[in-house]
Homo-oligomer: A and B are copies of this chain.
Amino acid sequence: MPTDSRESIIRKGAEIVHAKGFRGSGLQEILHASGIPKGSFYFYFKSKEDFGLAIVDYYSAFIRDMAERHLGEATVSPLDRLERFMESYTDMFERMGHRCGCPVGNLIQEMSDLSEPFREKLKAIYTTMHDYIAELLREARRRKDIPAAIDPDGMAWFILDGWEGAIMHMKLAKSSEPLDNFRKHLFGLVLKKTGRAR
């Protein structure tokens, strides 16, 4: 059996779960799509939940990668980095036809009440997402790019939760408008940013 079988079934499962939710994704469909027999599945994973947790890890790695790529550029101001990051997500969602939305947000909504191991893992990645934003805001505050009254930690939760809500609304509206409206209000009214990132 090729060593990348585990990776390949996770990748295919992540795609299907992103589109249909965890409970809406049949194991049979995932096995069929990844061309892997059932026996091999249980060689890699103890249960469907165990598999689901590996998919959350896969999403985490993707988000970390996106964040490191966009949020680390020291030559760009922290607020511009945050705005461009949100714009690149907006472009990605546009290419996806405003379907699927945020894989982490979907699972938070679906699984928080149903599985403690899911909830713990989702909480860890959601906290990581928060910490990226809080770090940018701390940097912006040191540079006096945002009002001094802003608490980076609380504001980072306000931003992350609002962004997740806007993504949910985007799925409903099948349009980028909720994401554009969120960015406009966040950067214009809340953070008082001057000038546009693009």
Q: A24-B23, A168-B108 are in contact. Are A185 and B123 (CB under 8 A)?
A: no
What distance in Å separates the Cβ of A161 from its nearest Cβ neighbour in chain B? 4
Interface bracket on A: 35 or more
- Would you give the shortest CB distance from A165 to chain B, in whole angstroms? 3
Asked if residues A168 and B123 are in contact (CB atoms below 8 Å), the reply is no
Chain B CB within 8 A of A193 CB: no
- A141: shortest Cβ distance to chain B, in Å? 14
- Looking at A8-16, A56-64, A65-73, A176-184, the stretch in contact with chain B turns out to be A176-184
Q: Which of B19, B157, B171, B189 contacts A109 (CB 8 A)?
A: B171
10 tightest CB-CB pairs across the interface, nearest first?
A165-B165, A161-B165, A162-B162, A112-B171, A164-B165, A158-B185, A109-B109, A161-B166, A108-B172, A161-B169
